[in-house]
Structure 1
Amino acid sequence: MRSMTTYSRDGHSGSGSGAFTPDGCSVEMYARLPENGETAVIAAAAPPGATLLELGAGAGRMTRPLLERGFAVTAVDESEAMLAKIDGAPTVHAAIEGLDLGRRFDVVTLASFLVNTADEAHRGRLLRTCARHVAPGGCVLVQREPDGLHQALSPGSTWSRGAMTVTVVSLEPLEENVSRTCLRYDFEDAHWTQTFVSHALSTSRFETALAEAGLRLDAYLTEDRSWARCLPHRP
């Protein structure tokens, strides 16, 4: 039986200098981040020059390299401060859930593990937005937490990404497959934390969520199943 617990973003927070988004992301920190191989996955799965709707674009760490690869990107984010960092692409200041631009795109991306929200209703709204905006014959590319990620992390775990070091400050299990995690991001000149709740979606639960939103799995694009290409269920 599925848990009936409802998690909201009220429990998400961040610390450090500068502005923060409603889910605890530091605008300045995310503006510093380079892309992390995501655009290569997208480029291999999408037709050249495709129209692309980037949901949750943030400060543009993926937007810029996607533009450089020739995609016609429209970037969506709920944070005006994040979108202000993006040049060269039309931007839409809006929450993803409930978004309806009245047009469809060759490719829709939902990255940054947004699908791993611990709020099932919110997950459904995110995926329905993807389905609502993908063109016939197009695809939705979803990034999810790699299988086994929660089991591999523990307080004190650390890794580097360019000039940034990430440390797991705390990892608190809330119920089966749901955890509250606090991460610290250290740069030479600045430090931030972010606390968030996430659901480690099993493959079957992820695929069920897709189906409930009018999508079906076409293929996993990476060995760790962290990227999936999904197609719309349409007659």
Structure 2
Amino acid sequence: MREGYEGTGPGAITPDGCAVDLYSRLVAGAEPGIVAAAVPAGATMLELGSGVGRLTLPLSERGLTVTAVDESAEMLARVRERVPGIRTVQSPIETLDLEERFDVVLLASFLVHTGDRAVRDGLLAACRRHVADDGCVLVQREGVDWHTRVPREREDPSGCTVRIASAEPVGDGVNSVVAEYVFPDARWTQTFRSRPLTKGDFEACLDAAGLTVETYLTDDGTWVRARPKHR
């Protein structure tokens, strides 16, 4: 496990505390519709941090040609089960270099909020490295009160109670977040490090990576479409 990251529950747990069996049960919700509406029909997409393919499958069904990237072999095996024939790449995102460009690069799952600044900068650099000059990068952000409105919970359409139990400061502007996922027959937890970013902070991080915000796709500002800055 990475320092500050931990997962509990049945099945394989990835180095960042994600449970493979848990994410295989969760459903995508509104995210595929938000993404598909923001990109050209039939676009090529690089999905960074695909997990088990919760978004990969519905995006592929909408006609996008998706390349799924994850550092977990167990996660990518589930992607291939869901989307036979899909191209998958096992790699940490921040060191990925496929030497090709895509119409769309997707960085979902709040990955931009990782507590490690160097990792965050590496994630955004990978986005810039792989997006076509006329392409776009879609980023999912945390809500403005994500770290202060705790504890809170919601019912996932999969039948899971998703609970953010706590978000406690651990220094340098980073919080240790504990999430719980409870099904009638199983329970998982994940502890991870997350750095809150104001809108200004977020836009400055993109700017440093050679990206600029084009538009906020949702009223709550959690989905963003960025474009590469031309050198």
After TM superposition, the score normalised by the length of structure 1 is 0.93
One-letter code of the match for 1:167?
A: R
Give the Å deviation of 1:176.
6.8
Give the Å deviation of 1:161.
0.6
Which of 23, 26, 31 is matched with 1:30 structurally? 23
Which of 199, 215, 220 is matched with 1:219 structurally? 215
One-letter code of the match for 1:124?
A: D
One-letter code of the match for 2:5?
A: H
Residue of structure 2 in register with 1:138 after alignment? 135
Residue of structure 1 in register with 2:3 after alignment? 10
Local SS of the residue matching 1:64: helix
Local SS of the residue matching 2:75: helix
Residue of structure 2 in register with 1:80 after alignment? 73
Which of 178, 189, 204 is matched with 1:193 structurally? 189
Give the Å deviation of 1:175.
3.9
2:107 equivalent to 1:110: yes
Q: Is the 8 A contact 1:177 1:201 kept in 2?
A: no
Which of 157, 160, 167 is matched with 1:164 structurally? 160
Q: Is the 8 A contact 2:150 2:166 kept in 1?
A: no
Q: Gaps (5+ residues) in structure 2?
A: none
Distance in 2 separating the partners of 1:97 and 1:72: 22
2:96 equivalent to 1:95: no
Distance in 1 separating the partners of 2:42 and 2:193: 36
2:62 equivalent to 1:66: no
Residue of structure 2 in register with 1:183 after alignment? 179
Residue of structure 2 in register with 1:3 after alignment? none
Q: Is the 8 A contact 1:179 1:198 kept in 2?
A: yes
Residue of structure 1 in register with 2:203 after alignment? 207
Distance in 2 separating the partners of 1:195 and 1:17: 15
2:19 equivalent to 1:19: no
After TM superposition, the score normalised by the length of structure 2 is 0.94
Which of 160, 170, 173 is matched with 2:169 structurally? 173
One-letter code of the match for 2:89?
A: V
Distance in 2 separating the partners of 1:202 and 1:66: 29
One-letter code of the match for 2:153?
A: T
One-letter code of the match for 1:77?
A: D
Local SS of the residue matching 1:54: strand
Q: Gaps (5+ residues) in structure 1?
A: 1-7
User: Structure 1 vs Structure 2: percent identity of aligned residues?
Assistant: 50
Q: Is the 8 A contact 1:112 1:143 kept in 2?
A: yes
Local SS of the residue matching 2:106: strand
2:123 equivalent to 1:126: yes
Local SS of the residue matching 1:152: coil
Distance in 2 separating the partners of 1:99 and 1:140: 16
Question: C-alpha offsets along residues 16-37 of structure 1, whole Å, 9 cap, x if unaligned?
Answer: 1110111000000011111121
